Amino acid sequence: MGSGRLVVVRHGESEFNADGVWTGTADVGLTAKGRADGRRMGELLSDITFDVVYTSCMRRAVQTRDDIFATYGRMSAVFKKTAALNERDYGDYTGLNKWQVRDMVGEEAFKVLRRAFDAPIPNGETLRDVAERVVPWYLANVVPQLMAGKNVLIVGHGNSCRALRKYVEDVSDKGVEDLEMDFDKVYLYSVAPDGRMDGEQQIRQLD
């Protein structure tokens, strides 16, 4: 028997995203656009029956899940929250305008800060730190369910989803710098027993 479907979604546009503010651990809600996109995402996934749905503990991820299922219409799935999927802690930069931070540190350092696997942030997390909580949780909790043939939806954040996809897609530490996690895309996988993708990744996108 093949694995169940693993589906990975980033939460919709948040209030801070719309303002160009680094959100991180700030627990803000979605914009009207973010909520509408979540409902459209439900239509995009209407052909899949999910058994388990995981979100972070953060409001914007939970709202996205609820909006997906508002149009998805199948409520038999088990909903679970985990801090392992919470967004990267941006430390001292949380709540600051991204472009102000860019002006503070310089263009090249700003790119490294945002994209690199090991870029430190004052009093915050690197992407490696995020991966070190996401991947063990995924292997212990999600992979056994996929191997049992269950379909699992994960609604996370830009960096927790990038950390998960880095492992699932076997992306190098350097390669993760080019790994995007867009608001309007859904990533679908079948996986092998080690939790890495088995076959081709599929991507669905909102119109």
CATH (domain of 22): 3.40.50.1240
Catalytic one among 13, 15, 87, 200? Answer: 87
Clarify whether 11 is annotated catalytic.
yes
Clarify whether 157 is annotated catalytic.
no
> Rounded distance, CA 145 to CA 149, Å?
7
> What angle do the packed helices 158-168 and 127-137 form, to 10 degrees?
60
Rounded average pLDDT over 14-21:
93
**pLDDT tens across 180-197, in order?**
999 999 999 999 999 999
**pLDDT tens across 59-90, in order?**
999 999 999 999 876 678 999 999 999 999 99
Catalytic one among 11, 13, 125, 157? Answer: 11
Assess if residue 1 is contained within a domain: no
DSSP for residue 87: P
Cβ neighbour number for residue 37 with a 10 Å cutoff? 21
Assess if residue 147 is contained within a domain: yes
The reported pTM is: 0.95
Query: What type of residue is 158?
Result: G
> Rounded distance, CA 183 to CA 12, Å?
6
Assess if residue 188 is contained within a domain: yes
Which of helix, strand or coil describes residue 155?
Answer: strand
pLDDT for the residue numbered 74 = 63
**pLDDT tens across 132-167, in order?**
999 999 999 999 999 999 999 999 999 999 999 999
Assess if residue 116 is contained within a domain: yes
Domain containing residue 95 = 11-50+57-205
Please count the structural domains in the chain.
1
